[in-house]
């Protein structure tokens, strides 16, 4: 099984070695703008704990941490003012999904109609 790579780019952001355009932060969760946005709002939401992917997170994190994470996603959606207009959440796990960064993250997209956008 793959082990967590401490040198991945989001780990470097968490360690403060690389800057990010921060949208929200608390002791467990960080949200920042995607460097290469594909919608008017395109942020990444990550737990601060070391999980490689969505699958790793839901399989191995505590129920409390999982619940806290998803409650925080909703808080961020509210802060970004997309609850009424709508938003899309995407997460890539592993090879077939072409996951690029091996630290679990959700993409949250919104503030425009996403119907025509294909995520790749
Ligand atoms: P994924 O394919 O789901 O692993 O997506 C990785 C995402 O991270 C892509 O949308 C990239 O644009 C984004 N990304 C890569 N490096 C950075 C960075 N330094 N700051 C913000 N977003 C980044």
Q: Whose CA is nearest to atom 17 of ligand 1?
A: 35
Separation of CA 34 and ligand 1 centre (Å): 6
Backbone angles phi, psi at 15, to 5 degrees: -80, -5
pLDDT given for residue 119 in this prediction: 54
Which among 42, 103, 105, 107 is annotated as catalytic?
105
Separation of CA 33 and ligand 1 centre (Å): 9
Active site includes 107? Answer: no
pLDDT at 118 over 90: no
Condensed to tens digits (0 to 9), the pLDDT of residues 51-106 reads: 999 999 999 999 999 999 999 999 999 999 999 999 999 999 999 999 999 999 99
Q: For residues 57-68, b (16+ Cβ closer than 10 Å) or e, as one string?
A: beeebeeebeeb
Ligand 1 pocket test: pick from 101, 102, 117, 120 the residue with the most ligand atoms within 8 Å of its Cβ. 101
pLDDT given for residue 116 in this prediction: 66
Query: Nearest to residue 31, comparing CAs of 64, 63, 67, 78?
Result: 78
d(CA 74, CA 106): 12
d(CA 82, CA 27): 24
Condensed to tens digits (0 to 9), the pLDDT of residues 11-58 reads: 999 999 999 999 999 999 999 999 999 999 999 999 999 999 999 999
- The residue among 76 and 115 whose pLDDT is bigger is 76
Percentage helix, strand, coil for the chain under 3-state DSSP, each rounded to 5? 30, 20, 50
pTM: 0.96
Q: How far from 31 is each of 25, 96, 118, CA to CA, in Å?
A: 6, 25, 22
Fold of 9-110: HIT family, subunit A (3.30.428)
For the chain, the domains span: 9-110
Q: Which atom of ligand 1 is nearest to the CA of 91?
A: 3
β-pair type (41-47, 87-90): unpaired
pLDDT given for residue 2 in this prediction: 81
pLDDT at 120 over 60: no
């Amino acid at each position: 099984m793959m082990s967590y790579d401490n040198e991945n780019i989001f780990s470097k952001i968490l360690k403060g070695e690389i800057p990010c355009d921060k949208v929200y932060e608390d002791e467990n969760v960080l949200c920042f703008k995607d460097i290469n946005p594909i919608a008017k709002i395109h942020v990444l939401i990550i737990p601060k704990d070391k999980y490689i992917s969505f699958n790793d997170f839901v399989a191995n994190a505590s129920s409390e941490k999982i619940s806290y994470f998803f409650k925080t996603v909703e808080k961020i959606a509210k802060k970004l003012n997309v609850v009424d207009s709508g938003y899309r959440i995407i997460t890539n796990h592993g090879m077939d999904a072409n996951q690029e960064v091996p630290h679990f993250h959700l993409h949250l997209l919104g503030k425009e109609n996403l119907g025509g956008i294909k995520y790749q």
